Amino acid sequence: MSETEFELDMDELSSAEDFLEYFGIDYDPSVVHVNRLHILQRFHDYLDGVEQMPQSDKEKHTLYAGMLSSAYYDFVESDARTEKVFKVFHMHEPVTVTVPLLDLTQQVAPVAPKV
- pLDDT digits 0-9 by tens, 80-92: 666 666 555 545 5
pLDDT single digits (tens) 14-49 = 999 999 999 999 999 999 998 898 899 889 999 999
Global confidence as pTM: 0.69
Residue 114 has what DSSP assignment?
P
Taking CA 37 as the corner, what is the angle to CA 32 and CA 41, rounded to the nearest 5 degrees? 120
Residues 47 and 72 sit within 8 Å (Cβ to Cβ): no
* CA atoms within 13 A of residue 53's CA, in its CB half-sphere: 9
